Amino acid sequence: MENEEKENKEMKIIPMKKINVKDVTSCDATAQMLEKAQRDGVETAFDRAANMKACPIGADSACCKHCSMGPCRLNPKDPYSKVGVCGATIDTIMARNFARMVSSGAAAHTDHGMSMLNVFREVVNGNIKDYTIKDIIKLKEVATSIGIETQGREIKDIAMDLYKELERTYTQVEGEIPFANRVPPNTLETWRKHGVVPRGAMREIMELMHRTHMGVDQHYENITKQCSRTALADGWGGSMVATEISDILYGTPTPVRAEVNMGCLKENEVNIIIHGHEPNLFESILESVNDPKLLKEATNAGAKGINLVGMCCSGAEMLSRHGIPHAGNFMSTEAVLVTGAVDAMGVDVQCIKQGLAKVAQCYGTKLFTTNPRCHIEGAEHAELDEHKPRKCTDKIVKMAIDRFKNRKLPVEIPKITNMGVHGFSHEYINYMLGGTFRSSYTPLNQNIINGRIRGVAGVVGCTNPRVKHDWVHVELVKELIKNDVLVVQTGCSQIALAKAGFYKPEAAHLAGPGLRDVCEAVGMPPVLGVGSCVDNSRILIACAEMVRVGGLGDSIADLPVAGAAPEWMSEKAISIGQYFVASGVYTVFGVTFPIIEETKFHKLLFEDLEELGFGKWGFTPDPHEMAQLMIAHIDKKRQALGIDKARERVLFDMAARRELEAA
Ligand code: BF8
Ligand code: SF4
Structure confidence by residue, pLDDT tens digits, 505-525: 999 999 999 999 999 988 889
pLDDT at 653 over 60: no
Q: Which ligand is nearest to the Cα of residue 534, counting in written order?
A: 1
492 close to ligand 1 (CB < 6 Angstrom) = yes
Contact in structure between 226 and 208 (CB atoms under 8 Å) = yes
580 close to ligand 1 (CB < 6 Angstrom) = no
Higher per-residue pLDDT: 437 or 386: 386
Q: CB 589: neighbour CB atoms within 10 A? A: 23
Task: State the pLDDT confidence band at 641, using cuts at 50, 70 and 90.
Answer: very high
Contact in structure between 504 and 481 (CB atoms under 8 Å) = no
- Cα-based distances in Å from 432 to 277, 448, 495, 590: 27, 16, 22, 32
Tell me what pLDDT residue 13 has.
61
φ and ψ at residue 30, rounded to 5 degrees: -65, -40
- Of all protein residues, the one whose alpha carbon is nearest to atom 3 of ligand 1 is 462
Task: State the pLDDT confidence band at 9, using cuts at 50, 70 and 90.
Answer: low
66 close to ligand 2 (CB < 6 Angstrom) = yes
Q: CB 127: neighbour CB atoms within 10 A? A: 11
Task: State the pLDDT confidence band at 646, using cuts at 50, 70 and 90.
Answer: very low
Query: Ligand 1: distance of its center to the CA of 123 in Å?
Result: 28
- Whether the CA torsion 239, 244, 249, 250 is positive or negative: it is positive
Considering only CA atoms, which of 258, 196, 206 is closest in space to residue 228? 196
Contact in structure between 531 and 316 (CB atoms under 8 Å) = yes
Q: Which ligand is nearest to the Cα of residue 84, counting in written order?
A: 2
Using DSSP's 3-state secondary structure scheme, residue 196 falls into: coil
- Of all protein residues, the one whose alpha carbon is nearest to atom 6 of ligand 1 is 351
Pocket probe mutation, ligand 1, options 104, 312, 568, max atoms within 8 Å of Cβ: 312
Contact in structure between 184 and 547 (CB atoms under 8 Å) = yes
Q: How far apart are CA 149 and CA 158, in angstroms?
A: 8
Q: What is the pLDDT of residues 203-242, one digit of tens each?
A: 999 999 999 999 999 999 999 999 999 999 999 999 999 9
Q: Which ligand is nearest to the Cα of residue 61, counting in written order?
A: 2
- Whether the CA torsion 389, 393, 394, 399 is positive or negative: it is positive
Q: What is the pLDDT of residues 287-325, one digit of tens each?
A: 999 999 999 999 999 999 999 999 999 999 999 999 999
Q: What is the pLDDT of residues 47-87, one digit of tens each?
A: 999 999 999 999 999 999 999 999 999 999 999 999 999 99
Q: Give the position, in ligand 1's atom list, of the atom nearest the Cα of 573.
A: 5
Q: Give the position, in ligand 1's atom list, of the atom nearest the Cα of 491.
A: 2
Query: Cβ contacts of residue 364 below 8 Å, gap of 6+?
Result: 340, 403, 406, 407, 408, 409
Helices (H), 593-622: 600-603, 609-611
- pTM beyond 0.85: yes
Task: State the pLDDT confidence band at 187, using cuts at 50, 70 and 90.
Answer: very high
Query: Cβ contacts of residue 6 below 8 Å, gap of 6+?
Result: none
Q: Give the position, in ligand 2's atom list, of the atom nearest the Cα of 96.
A: 4
Tell me what pLDDT residue 11 has.
57
330 close to ligand 1 (CB < 6 Angstrom) = yes
Query: Cβ contacts of residue 513 below 8 Å, gap of 6+?
Result: 484, 651, 654, 655, 658
